[in-house]
Amino acid sequence: MMKLEKLKIFKGTVIHSLKIDHVEILPNSLLGVNGNNGKIEFLKSNINDFEGELLSLEKDYQIDKNQDIVDLGNKFIIPGFIDTHAHAPQYHNAGTGTDLPLLKWLEKYTFPVESRFKDLEFAKNVYSKVVDRMLKNGTTTVCYYATLHLPASKLLADIVGQRGQRAFIGKVCMDRHSPDHYVESTADSIKDTREFVDTILAAGNPLVQPIVTPRFAPSCTDELMTQLGQLAQEKNTMIQSHLSENLDEVAWVKSLYPTLPSYTHVYKHFNLLNNKTIMAHAIHLSDSEISLIKQCEAGISHCPTSNFTLSSGCLDTRKILEAGVKLGLGTDVSGGFHPSILYVIKDAIKSSNHHHFNNAQYKPLSFEEAFYLATVGGSQVCGLQDTIGNFLVGKEFDAQIIDPYVANGPFDVFEADSLKDIFQKFIFLGDDRNVSDVYVKGNKIDL
Ligand SMILES: Nc1nc2[nH]cnc2c(=O)[nH]1
Ligand SMILES: [Zn+2]
C-alpha cells in the first residue's frame, strides 16, 4: 500500500490540452496532487462510480475523504497560464502611452519609467502589484524583464518568491543607444548580471530562475553581447531578448550589422540563440531566419496585444507552427496594455484572422490552438514541457479553478450550453472575476 500523508484530490471537470488542436474536456474527474512534491499523482476521468473509486483511493492512499477532497461543483480546473514575455516595471504604465511606435515609445514612456526603479520603494510598490495582478489573472509562470538596476531586480525575485509564483527573472542589460539617465557600462552590466544570476541560484528556490537578458541587439555593444553569451553558457541559464518587432528596428539592426545576414543571425553570432532562448515578437522574419530559429531550437513569444498597440505587425503564427518552432504567448506589458493571457489569447486569434483576410487558404488559429499556446506552448518555450503546461501525471500542479457562475461575473451560462461552450465563453468573455483559486506546484496562492 502507498501511504501518502498529504494528498489533495479535486473532484469535478478538468480541462487541458495534450495536442494543439484539441482541448480535453474531462467531466467527472478525480485529480490527485501529492502535497509533498506538488506533483500530479493521478487523473481519472468520466468516472461513473465515485463512491467505488474513492473507496479504492482510500485504500491505496489512506486518504480521509472528508478532508482531502475539494469538490469543484460547477467550477472547472485548467492549467495556469504561462506568460512568456512581460516587463514587470512597465506595469506602472499599463493602459497609458499607447500612441507611439516602438522606438519612439521606448524613448518617451518606457526608459523614463524604468529609470525610476533605482528607487527601491518605488520598485517595491510596482513589483508587488504586478505580481499580484498576474496571479489574480491565473498566470502561474512569467518570464519577467526587470530593469538594469541590480537591487531592484533582486527585489523582484524576492517578491515573486514570497508570493509563490513560478518565474524567470532577468536583470536587463543595455550599455549603448540608451538615454544618459538609463544606461550602464559594459563592465557593470556583466558584473551585475553575474551577481544577479549567482544570487538567484544561491537562493535555491526551484520556482524562481535567472534569465540572461540583453534588452535587444541595438542596446548592447558587441562586447556585452559576447560576454552575455558566455555567461549564459557558463551558468546554463535561459536567455531572453526581442527580435524583429518593428520595421524601423529591423533597419537599424541592419545598419549596425551590415555584414551579418539578418537580425536573427546577430543573436546567433554572439551565442545567444539556442534551445534555452526566448525571442519576443519575431514578426518580420525571412524564411531563412525561421529556419535558423528552428535549427537552434529557440522559442518565440508571440505578443499580439503589444503588436497591435505599438502597430508592430501581425506574426504569421501558422508559418511558425508549421516550421516546428516552439511558440508561446506573452503579454509584453506594457507594450501590451493588458496583464492577462486571456486577453492575449483573443488577440492571437484576431491577429491570425488578419492573415486569413488576405488569403482564403490561410488557416487561422482556433481558440483551442490559442489555449494550447497559452499553456503547453508556453511550457515548451520555457523549457518546462516536462514540468508544467497540462495535467499529465508526474507534472507539477500549476492550475486555476474557474468559476463560470461567479456572482456579477462577466458572462452568462444558459441551459443548452455544453461544457465546451462554457469553457469557450470563459476564453472569450471571462476575466479575473472567474479565477477563484490559483495553485503553483500544488501550493494554493493567497489571491
Ligand atoms: N515591446 C518592447 N520591445 C522592446 N524592444 C526593446 N525594448 C523593448 C520593450 O521594452 N518593449
Ligand atoms: Zn518586450
- pLDDT tens-place string over residues 40-84: 999 999 999 999 998 888 888 877 766 789 999 999 999 999 999
Residues making up the chain, counted from first to last: 447
pLDDT in tens, 382-438: 999 999 999 999 999 999 999 999 999 999 999 999 999 999 999 999 999 999 999
Q: Which one is predicted more confidently, 5 or 135?
A: 135
Residue 13 to residue 426: CA distance in whole angstroms? 14
Return the ligand number nearest the Cα of 283: 1
Ligand 1 contacts (CB < 6 A) are: 87, 102, 106, 110, 215-216, 242, 245, 306, 332, 335
The pLDDT-based confidence of 1 (bands split at 50, 70, 90) is very low
Degrees (nearest 5) of the Cα angle 317, 319, 320? 65
Ligand 1: atom nearest CA of 87 is: 10
Residue 103 to residue 82: CA distance in whole angstroms? 27
pLDDT in tens, 136-155: 999 999 999 999 999 999 99
Whether residue 361 has pLDDT greater than 50: yes
Which of 102, 113, 171, 278 maximizes ligand 1 atoms within 8 Å of its Cβ, making it the mutation to test the pocket?
102
Residue 75 to residue 12: CA distance in whole angstroms? 8
Q: Where are the alpha helices (DSSP H) in 167-297?
A: 186-203, 222-235, 247-256, 263-269, 287-296
Residue 307 to residue 365: CA distance in whole angstroms? 16
Whether residue 353 has pLDDT greater than 60: yes
Q: What is the ipTM of this complex?
A: 0.99
For residues 216 and 256, the answer to whether their CB atoms sit within 8 Å is no
For residues 1 and 65, the answer to whether their CB atoms sit within 8 Å is no
Is the sign of the CA dihedral 121, 123, 153, 265 positive or negative? negative
Ligand 1: atom nearest CA of 245 is: 3
Residue 244 to residue 134: CA distance in whole angstroms? 26
Joined together, the cell numbers standing for residue 52 give 467505488
**Burial category of 350 from C-beta neighbours within 10 Å (exposed 0-12, middle 13-18, buried 19 and up):** middle
Q: What's the gap in Å between 234 CA and the centre of ligand 2?
A: 25
Predicted pLDDT at 4: 59
pTM: 0.98
Percent above pLDDT 70 for the chain = 98
